[in-house]
Structure 1
Amino acid sequence: MARERPPARGCGALRRCLLGAALLLGLRLCAELRRAGPRPPARSAPPGTAPRPPEPHLPPAPGPPRGASRRRVTYVRSGRRAPPGGRGSGPPEPGCCAPRGPPRRKIACNHISTDSLATDSSPAKKPWSVCLDDRFGLAHQIRNKQCRLYSLGLGSDDTHFEVRMADDGCEVHRFDPSVKSAHVLESQRLWFHRLSVDWRDPHPAVAAQKLHSNARKLGTILNEFGHHKIDVLKADLESAEWKVLENLILEDVLGQIGQLIFEIHLHWPGFEVSGSDSSVVRFWYSLLKELELKDFRLFHSYKDLSKPQLFLKKDIFNASSCYILSWVNTRWK
């Protein structure tokens, strides 16, 4: 009769090794959990306290009364019209550093009328430039003596551009609060208005006490004058141009303008614009991007090297704190 074989000793040793390894793994996991510690409970806001809102890009500016809805400028941080590929699929956001030049997306204009021979290296009079290509209509309006120019200024005596446009047959309105009194040069088709174009209208209570307030939004002036279109809008507002441009975007006035000629200043953020350098640059970039979305294209730029080489109060070699930029509304008719 065959005898049964006793169980092999090797199997028992293997079992003991596996049990020991499992025990060591369990002890290591326990040690890791103790080292990490329990997760702190999420803090809840005390009763009656509203959640903290995200930091704004800019301090709140005076706006419409409660309940009124109007479109706000879409700042670049919100990623307007970003392609559906996530963060890395769109163009990079602007940083806090000085731009190497004005916006690069330009349109070719074959007939630029510049009333000055100024260059970047040899500044003379400021080159206020308009595009006279037939496809944009300004040349046709000038030939028919039907063009209209609005010029916004603050204390400047240089009106050679306005006089030339009036001589060419344009109806020219010059707005400057520093003029002694409103007057008309009918022989030159040139009107001087003792008004300042602002990004806000006077408060009703203040306006009631001061009937002839000399500050208006551009949209308000257009309504008061009964003008529906401006062929050329020129602005030299000494750092108020950013807020005025924002107002034109917010109130959809841009569609009534054929060409924009703006002197922009970069040596400080501008009136009622504040925040870190990067947030200020985002604000500027957002306005320029809105112009592009409204079908305005840059056709001429001029860097004024006679101005201090400053960007947001920092010395920058071969930079300028002042540019003159000219855009044309490609949908203007």
Structure 2
Amino acid sequence: MWTCIRWWGRGGHPLSAGILLLLIPPLLLALQLLVVGPRLPRAGRLGVEEQEGAVAFSVLSIEPVRDSRQRGSQSRLPRLDEEEEEEEQEVEDGRMREGERAYEDENEILSHQLGPRTLEVQPWAADQPSFTAELNRVVTYITRPQLNCSRVLSPGHTQASQPAADSPHWMLCAEDWLLPAGDASCVAYSFSMDGGDAEFIKTVSGLGCEVHSFDPSNSNASGRHLGNSLASNHGDGGVVSQHKMWLEWRAPRKRKHKTRGNLGSVSQTLADIMAALGHHTVHFLYADLLSAEWRVFQNWIESGTLQSVHHLVATVHLQWAGFEVGGTDEEVLRYWFSILQGLQASGLKLIHTSAGEGHSVLKQTVANAHSTYTLSWVNTRH
């Protein structure tokens, strides 16, 4: 460029010099594009091609996935462990994990259970809430056996026999397919605070079962010393261990792994007790929980623990709603019926009913109902 200027200054043609000056900027721009152009994003170099529709764009959503629980759901009873769901998760085969660390009991107690489930609320018995309709549905259900047993074990007897004409307080179904094999171990649990389980303990210990009796009011029992053979055993062939402990229905806020032989606190869930004692099956279970049975049943249903219980004898109390059970009388009765349906859905079939004394239901006198019923079930799914 300076050569051209000097040439024009020495008398060169002015028009030629002007043309050269006009050509220099385009040449510099072209040189810049040749050097920098390949480094530009492709979208920036397509120019007219983009306007002609030569390139198609896809828009990807980056919104976080919303939990399905935020959507509307059907009305249901609250799970007992909802407060703990943020701290730990229950794996569907029953094994539990905290964070990324997973563990399982040495006997894989929960591997044979169904996964956690939510108790299903049953529809109203009538078109609208009705005390009479709800009560009739509950009483009808608990007074109609669902399975007939040709051979039974009655209180205090270790030999199977045909059902007696007079109805016993409870019974165990002694069909071969429902009893442990002769060479198999047998485990029995009893939860009672009034000594009403004496005949049950005598029966199952006479069968040669390993028996565990739970009573928080028993000062002679110990939750730490396991497998202690008691003098009251009378050499009947079974081993009875007493524990100063009771059943819990609330899921602990921070569940800890229960090692075998370590029961920990005085109140534990059935699953934790079984894990601590090293049992994956309870063949016979007796429970008189003094109105705590409804919440305990709910825990067993929702946790899947019932899959490990073969025979269940339990007393239900109808005088009042029960521990931590609220609502109107109609709502309480519907809740009770939902529990009974949940037990059936878990595989339990009613084989016997024995009515107790009194005719008080939710503090009302009812002629066609009793205050308590002792119910005997067998699990047909084990």
Instruction: State the distance in 2 between where 1:115 and 1:262 align.
Output: 14
Partner of 2:215: 176
Q: Is the 8 A contact 1:95 1:282 kept in 2?
A: no
Deviation at 1:71, TM superposition (A): 2.8
Work out whether 1:97 is the aligned partner of 2:143.
no
2:84 corresponding residue in structure 1: 65
* Partner Cα separation in structure 2 for residue 311 and residue 215 of structure 1: 28
| Cα pair 1:58 1:273 within 8 Å, conserved | no
> Would the aligned equivalents of 2:149 and 2:351 in 1 still touch at CA under 8 Å?
yes
**Is 1:242 matched with 2:294?**
yes
| Residue of structure 2 in register with 1:21 after alignment | none
> Which sections of structure 2, spanning at least 5 residues, go unmatched?
1-71, 91-115, 158-165, 223-227, 256-262
Q: What is the CA RMSD across the aligned residues, in angstroms? A: 3.6
Indicate the structure whose relative CO is greater, using CA pairs within 8 Å and at least 6 residues apart.
1
Q: Indicate whether 1:112 and 2:152 are aligned.
A: yes
Q: Structure 1 counterpart of 2:146, which letter?
A: K
Q: Could you tell me how far 1:95 is from its partner in structure 2?
A: 3.5
Q: Are 2:307 and 1:261 equivalent residues in the alignment?
A: no
Aligned pair 1:133/2:175, yes or no? yes
Contact 2:294–2:322 (8 Å) recurs in 1: yes
Question: SS of 1:174's equivalent?
Answer: strand
Paired residue type of 2:151: H
Compared CA separation, residues 167 and 238, structure 1 to 2 (3 A): same
Partner of 2:200: 161
**Contact persistence 2:152–2:174 (CA under 8 A):** yes
User: Identical aligned pairs, as a percentage?
Assistant: 31
Per-residue Cα deviation, 1:262-311 (whole angstroms, up to 9, x for no partner): 1111111110001011211111111111222222211111111xx22111
Counterpart for residue 152 of structure 1: 191
Structure 1 gap segments, 5+ residues each: 1-52, 80-86, 206-210
Q: How does 1:195-274 map to 2 (within 5 A)?
A: 195-200=245-250, 203=253, 212-274=264-326
TM-score by length of 2: 0.59
Moved more, 176-185 or 195-204: 195-204
Normalised TM-score (structure 1): 0.67
Question: Which amino acid is 2:175 matched to?
Answer: D
What's the CA shift for 1:60?
Answer: 7.7
Answer whether contact 1:197 1:216 (CA < 8 A) is retained.
yes
- The CA distance in 2 between the partners of 1:274 and 1:253, in whole Å, is 24
Please tell me whether the aligned partners of residues 163 and 190 of structure 1 are also in contact (alpha carbons under 8 angstroms): no
Aligned equivalents of 1:236, 1:95: Cα separation in 2 = 27
Q: Distance in 1 between matches of 2:169 and 2:253?
A: 36
- 1:247 partner amino acid: N
1:212-254 superposed Cα distances (whole Å, 9 cap, x missing partner):
5200000111111111001111101110111111101111011
| SS in structure 2 at match of 1:280 | helix
Match of 1:275, as an amino acid? G
Pair 1:287-2:287 in alignment:
no
Shift of 1:204: 5.2
1:74-85 alignment runs, 5 A limit: 74-77=120-123
The count of residues paired between Structure 1 and Structure 2 equals 256
- The letter for the 2-side match of 1:63 is E
Listed as ranges, the matches of 1:10-25 within 5 Å are none
Instruction: Show the counterpart of 1:316.
Output: 366
